[in-house]
Amino acid sequence: MKIKIAAKILDANEKIAAENRQIFDNNKIFTINLMSSPGAGKTSLLEKTIKYLREKEKVGVIVGDIAGTDDALRINSLGVPVVQINTGGACHLDANMINNALEDIPINDINLLFIENVGNLVCPAEFNLGENIKVMILSLTEGHDKPLKYPLMFQKSSVLILNKIDLKPFLDVSIEKIKVDVTSLNPSIKIFEVSCKTNEGIENWTKWLQTLIS
């Protein structure tokens, strides 16, 4: 016999994401899900952002990687609480992994939580973690064709950080084309141009970020 279900496939993830969000809201924590390809500069952006904000905001970080603790060690050296999730093969974080990691984050003691997702321009976009906003990084070295090749992440993110702009003179990449394509995919996306190497644009981004945290 047939049983009608009519439910979202990722309903189980959505429910846990809603639970996480409740925890964040109850503890007045603003949460950012940070996504990009491997090597686009997620950890570098976090390092720079934390250096600008650590005296003004109480920051915590959850780092997702398939294996290893290199990123967590880099963040840890900045003196902020950090939890490493090793997905052991999974190409994205899901809400349940975050729910478990929250046991090791001092949630009473932070007001800004960064979740560094697994480096991947595809899968993380499908899984809500309970975050307030999705922020993605595209580095100029990846090329201007990426938005139209990987549309979903650009559509689901509220913010696009264009990293490595210091390399622009050496690359045949059109920032203009990136902006035109991304804005067509997602008219309300906010775009920041930064260089984690020279610090260009970092202050702009962190100041804007602070306006979101109450």
Phi, psi of 133 (to 5 degrees): -140, 155
Q: How many angstroms separate the most distant Cα atoms in the chain?
A: 65
Q: Considering the rule CB under 8 A, would residue 67 count as an interface residue with another protein?
A: no
Q: Cβ of residue 53: shortest distance to another protein, in angstroms?
A: 31
- Candidate list 11, 145, 200, 203; residue touching another protein; CB under 8 A: 11
Closest to another protein by CB, 124 vs 201, is 124
Sheet bearing 82-86, strands edge to edge: 82-86, 59-65, 112-116, 30-36, 133-139, 159-163, 190-193
Look at residue 108 and give its three-state secondary structure. helix
Question: Long-range pairs for 81-86 at CB < 8 Å and ≥24 separation?
Answer: 81/105, 81/106, 81/109, 81/110
Total length of the chain? 214
- Candidate list 23, 78, 133, 148; residue touching another protein; CB under 8 A: 148
Closest CA to 38 of 114, 149, 139, 113: 139
| Amino acid occupying residue 73 | L
Q: Considering the rule CB under 8 A, would residue 65 count as an interface residue with another protein?
A: no
Q: Considering the rule CB under 8 A, would residue 175 count as an interface residue with another protein?
A: no
Closest CA to 107 of 146, 60, 71: 60
Number of residues that bind another protein (CB under 8 A): 31
Closest to another protein by CB, 123 vs 213, is 123
Q: Cβ of residue 5: shortest distance to another protein, in angstroms?
A: 5
Two tokens, residue 99:
């729910």
Site string for another protein, 24-63 (x = CB under 8 A): ----------------------------------------
- Candidate list 78, 104, 151, 175; residue touching another protein; CB under 8 A: 151
- Using CB under 8 A, which residues numbered 95 to 134 contact another protein? 120, 122-123, 125-127
Q: Which residues here bind another protein, judged by CB under 8 A?
A: 1-13, 90-92, 94, 120, 122-123, 125-127, 148, 151-152, 155, 181, 184-185, 187
